[in-house]
Structure 1
Amino acid sequence: MAIRQTRKPAPKPAPKPAPRQASRQRGPQQRAEETREALLTTGLHMFTTRSYDGVSVRALELEADVQRGAVAYHFQSKEGLWKAVVGYILDRFTKHLGPLEPMLKDLDEEARLRAVITAFVRFSAETPELNRLIIQEGREPSWRLDYLIATFIKDRFEWVEEMVGLLADPHTYYMSIGAATLVFDVEYECRALFDVDPTTDEFIKEHAARVADVLVYLRRRELAEES
């Protein structure tokens, strides 16, 4: 009996390897981006929960689980990382409130005020670190407070004043900021006292509406006194 010979299938061609140069470039670049992101998120947490002087470079690197010297490599110094963290927060702020500006021009003053307050309350709920950093640095004079005022606070203050005609005095300014942000800074106190989660969408909407109601009332009274 003849043995039937079977033909083996031809082997599939091996996939072509990616060019070595591109592979080498992509690997280190991705690792560098991951290290930078880890330092930024760690710095965001540590600089907003401790004093600047209470945070060491080595503690930052250990907490971020990156190699020793990573802060110097990516940001030159602790000061450079702190400024990068501020930029990181402000970039979030701009992306959150920036799209609001074109639509504000078509609204009356009260509607503009409500829109700005609602957007700011929602941002504060999602990124409470900004207010925590300002509180952290606002307690005493420093180059960091000067930096925050020059790069963010003064500019945003003037923008809100122009858009809604409010915050012209320190009482209204701090009452507005406090009302909009405090509950998100003390989230777990709110949970313990009221058994309420202040990070839910329902709570944020209600809180924004109540803060806006108060500020609209103050604005109406201010306009009545001027007339």
Structure 2
Amino acid sequence: MHVPRAAKQERSEQTRAQILEIALEEFSARGFEAVSLRDIADQAGVNHAMIRYHFGSKEALWKESATYLFQRLQVEVPPLDPSSGQASLDDLKEYVRNYVRYCARHPEHARLMVQESITGSERLKWVAETFIQPAHERTLKMITGAQEAIGLAEIDPLTLLYMIVSVVQMPYLLTAELKYTHGRDALAPGAVEAHADAVIWLIFRA
């Protein structure tokens, strides 16, 4: 039976997206060295050659996965534009809330970065230069503007940025510990919103 080219293209794109999702899960949970392309192929239910066809090497697949991850972050948490004037306090709070929700939906993001930071890999250097540094430049301008306009804590902006990132991400890095120690599901919708409320209060209470 003849399959239209558009249908083939759509199916190919769906397969590619599925492989990227699984690759992110595997790389973030086990680390780059512990994961093989065959592992990912088995999880995706595709032939090992299919991954080679779409991505080539494991290194290339990791970079494609990281690209997919950071593009998804930009879509789900649209950055505030510091050049458009000072964002309102409500805008800043909503930005933080969206970031908390993103981290809860996609804990593999923080886990992938932690995996790479442990060894300080060339992959991390590449993703830092390509995605993290430009994003941080925008966020640091936003923090500096908020310090001047609304009295946000007078802390070195880079230090404050990493403090905020840590407070937001930690429950989603330690979900198993929270569950085993305190019986709390950090990913329950009510828990995510409560965490967002707490982070916003900590940042903006002054």
- Pairwise TM-score range, normalised by the shorter structure: 0.7 to 0.9
TM-score of the two chains, using structure 1 as the length reference: 0.75
| Deviation digits for residues 186-209 of structure 1 (CA, Å, limit 9, x no counterpart) | 223223333332223322222112
Structure having greater relative contact order (Cα 8 Å, sep ≥ 6) = 2
Amino acid at match of 2:64: A
| Deviation digits for residues 163-201 of structure 1 (CA, Å, limit 9, x no counterpart) | 232774554333221110110122232233333322233
Corresponding position of 2:164:
176
Pick the aligned partner of 2:117 from 121, 138, 142.
138
Deviation larger for 163-172 or 44-53: 163-172
What is the Cα deviation at residue 105 of structure 1?
Answer: 5.0
Deviation larger for 171-180 or 85-94: 171-180
| Deviation digits for residues 36-64 of structure 1 (CA, Å, limit 9, x no counterpart) | 12311210111101121211122222222
Deviation larger for 115-124 or 200-209: 200-209
Corresponding position of 1:96:
76
Unaligned runs of at least 5 residues, structure 1: 1-17, 221-227
Give the 3 Å change call, closer, same or farther, for CA 113–33 of structure 1 in structure 2. closer
* Matches of 1:99 and 1:134, distance apart in 2: 20
Corresponding position of 1:52:
32
Higher helix share: 2
The alignment of Structure 1 onto Structure 2 pairs a total of residues equal to: 196
Give the 3 Å change call, closer, same or farther, for CA 213–72 of structure 1 in structure 2. same
Greater Rg over alpha carbons, structure: 1
| Deviation digits for residues 46-85 of structure 1 (CA, Å, limit 9, x no counterpart) | 1101121211122222222211211210012112211111
Task: Specify the SS of the correspondent of 2:186.
Answer: coil
Over the aligned positions, Cα root-mean-square deviation in angstroms equals 2.6
Q: Is residue 61–residue 67 contact of structure 1 (8 Å, CA) maintained in 2?
A: yes
* Matches of 1:169 and 1:100, distance apart in 2: 16
Give 1:36-115 correspondences, 5 Å limit. Answer: 36-98=16-78, 105=85, 107-108=87-88, 110-115=89-94
What is the Cα deviation at residue 131 of structure 1?
Answer: 0.7
Corresponding position of 2:127:
148
Corresponding position of 1:124:
103
* Matches of 1:27 and 1:111, distance apart in 2: 44
Corresponding position of 1:7:
none
Unaligned runs of at least 5 residues, structure 2: 148-154
Pick the aligned partner of 1:158 from 128, 137, 152.
137
What is the Cα deviation at residue 101 of structure 1?
Answer: 5.0
Q: Does 1:193 align with 2:181?
A: yes
* Matches of 1:155 and 1:120, distance apart in 2: 17
* Matches of 2:25 and 2:87, distance apart in 1: 37
| Deviation digits for residues 128-152 of structure 1 (CA, Å, limit 9, x no counterpart) | 1111111111122322111221122
Q: Is residue 134–residue 148 contact of structure 1 (8 Å, CA) maintained in 2?
A: no
* Matches of 1:65 and 1:153, distance apart in 2: 32
Quick one: percent identity of the two aligned structures? 27
Task: Specify the SS of the correspondent of 2:48.
Answer: coil
